[in-house]
C-alpha cells in the first residue's frame, strides 16, 4: 500500500513528534533541525538506489511526510538512482516549490553512468555534476555540496578537487561546501582553501576512534558532523556494522519501549549539539 501523501507545506502533524524536538544546528547561514532525511535508499531497496525500485507513490509520500514532520535537511545525490527511479527527481516532484526553510545537500566527485557503474570525476568535470544536480532538483543554486572522497584518496590529497568546488561556490552555483567520507587530514586541507560547513561520514555505535576524533574536531571548529549509516548499515542491516552491541541495544530498546533504530539515533544525537543525523528511506 502506498504511503499517504499529505501536503509538503501543511506543517507538523498534530500529536506527532517534530524533527525540531532534537534541536537545531547551522549549515553556513542555514539553520536545520538535527533530525534530517537521507535519500540514498529512496529510489531502490538497497544502498545507492540498487535493488528493487521503490513504489513511486510510496517514495513521494515518504518525502512529503518527512517535511510535514519538521525535516528541513535532506541529503541526496545525482548518483542515487535505480533503473526506474532518481532520488533527485522524486524530491523535485514531491516537494517543489520547495519550502523556504528546506536545505537540500548533495554530493559530487562520485558519479554513476546509466548502467550503474561508478565513475570519479576529474576536477574540471565537477561543474557538470553540479549542473546535473541543479537540473534534476529544479534549482538555480545548491544549498550545500559535499565533495565525496573516493576510497582511493583516503590517504591522498583532495585539494585540487576542493578548489574546483570552491570556484563553483564563488560563481554562485553553490552556497556552502562540505566533505564526505573524509579524514581529519582532508578536513585540514579543505579548510586551507575555503570554509567547510559539514563533514558527512559513516558513524554510529561502534564507530572507530578515528571517526570519534574527527567528530570532536568538528565540534571544536563549529562544523556540523553529519553521520550516515547511523541506523542502518550500507548493506541494509541494522547498524553500521558487526560487533556493535546489538544485544545490548535491543535490551535498552525493550527497557524504554523503543526500537533499536530509535536507540541508535538517540545515541548518535547525544554525541554533541553539532551532530545532525540523517535517517533514510525504510
Task: Check residue 49 and give its pLDDT.
Answer: 80
Catalytic residue among 80, 109, 225, 228: 80
* Helix 184-191 with 209-221: angle, nearest 10 deg: 30
Give the CATH fold of the 23-280 domain. TIM Barrel (3.20.20)
Task: Check residue 281 and give its pLDDT.
Answer: 53
Task: Check residue 266 and give its pLDDT.
Answer: 93
Task: Check residue 231 and give its pLDDT.
Answer: 84
Q: How many CB atoms are closer than 10 A to CB 60?
A: 21
Task: Check residue 156 and give its pLDDT.
Answer: 96
Contacts of 76 (CB under 8 A, 6+ apart): 39, 87, 88, 91, 104, 105, 106, 133, 137
Q: What are the extents of the domains in the chain?
A: 23-280
Q: How many CB atoms are closer than 10 A to CB 102?
A: 19
- Beta pairing partners, 202: 228
φ/ψ of 232, rounded to 5, equals -125, 135
Tens digits of pLDDT across the chain (282 residues): 222 223 333 344 445 678 999 999 999 999 999 999 999 999 998 888 888 888 999 999 999 999 999 999 999 999 999 989 999 999 999 999 999 999 999 999 999 998 889 999 999 999 999 999 999 999 999 999 999 999 999 999 999 999 999 999 999 999 999 999 999 999 999 999 999 999 999 999 989 999 999 999 999 999 999 999 888 654 444 444 434 567 889 999 999 999 998 999 999 999 999 999 887 655
Q: Is 98 a catalytic residue?
A: no
Q: How many CB atoms are closer than 10 A to CB 200?
A: 25
Helices (H), 29-174: 56-68, 87-95, 126-137, 159-170
Q: How many CB atoms are closer than 10 A to CB 219?
A: 16
Q: How many CB atoms are closer than 10 A to CB 144?
A: 25
The end-to-end CA distance of the chain, in Å, is 14
What pTM was estimated for this model as a whole?
0.89
Amino acid at each position: 500500500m502506498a504511503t499517504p501523501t499529505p501536503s509538503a507545506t501543511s506543517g507538523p502533524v498534530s500529536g506527532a513528534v517534530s524533527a525540531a524536538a532534537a534541536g537545531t544546528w547551522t549549515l553556513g547561514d542555514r539553520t536545520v533541525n538535527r533530525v534530517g532525511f537521507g535519500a540514498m535508499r529512496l529510489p531502490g531497496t538497497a544502498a545507492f538506489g540498487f535493488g528493487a525500485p521503490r513504489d513511486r507513490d510510496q517514495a513521494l509520500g515518504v518525502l512529503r511526510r518527512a517535511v510535514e514532520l519538521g525535516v528541513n535537511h535532506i541529503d541526496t545525490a545525482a548518483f542515487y538512482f535505480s533503473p526506474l527511479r532518481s532520488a533527485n527527481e522524486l524530491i523535485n516532484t514531491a516537494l517543489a516549490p520547495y519550502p523556504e526553510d528546506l536545505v537540500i545537500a548533495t554530493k559530487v566527485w562520485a558519479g554513476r553512468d546509466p548502467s550503474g557503474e561508478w565513475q570519479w570525476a576529474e576536477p574540471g568535470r565537477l561543474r557538470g555534476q553540479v549542473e546535473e544536480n541543479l537540473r534534476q532538483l529544479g534549482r538555480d543554486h545548491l544549498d550545500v555540496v559535499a565533495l565525496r572522497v573516493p576510497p582511493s584518496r583516503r590517504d591522498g590529497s583532495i585539494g585540487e578537487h576542493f578548489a574546483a568546488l570552491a570556484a563553483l561556490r564563488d560563481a554562485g552555483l553553490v552556497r556552502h561546501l562540505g566533505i564526505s567520507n573524509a579524514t581529519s587530514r582532508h578536513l585540514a586541507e579543505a579548510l586551507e582553501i575555503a570554509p567547510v560547513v559539514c563533514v558527512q561520514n559513516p558513524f554510529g555505535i561502534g564507530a572507530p576512534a578515528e571517526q570519534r576524533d574527527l567528530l570532536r574536531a568538528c565540534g571544536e571548529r563549529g562544523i556540523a558532523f553529519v553521520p550516515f549509516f547511523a541506523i542502518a548499515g550500507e548493506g541494509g542491516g541494522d547498524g553500521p556494522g558487526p560487533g556493535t552491541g546489538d544485544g545490548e541495544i535491543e535490551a535498552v530498546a525493550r527497557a524504554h519501549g523503543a526500537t533499536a533504530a530509535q536507540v541508535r539515533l538517540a545515541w548518535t544525537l547525544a554525541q554533541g549539539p553539532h551532530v545532525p543525523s540523517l535517517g533514510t528511506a525504510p
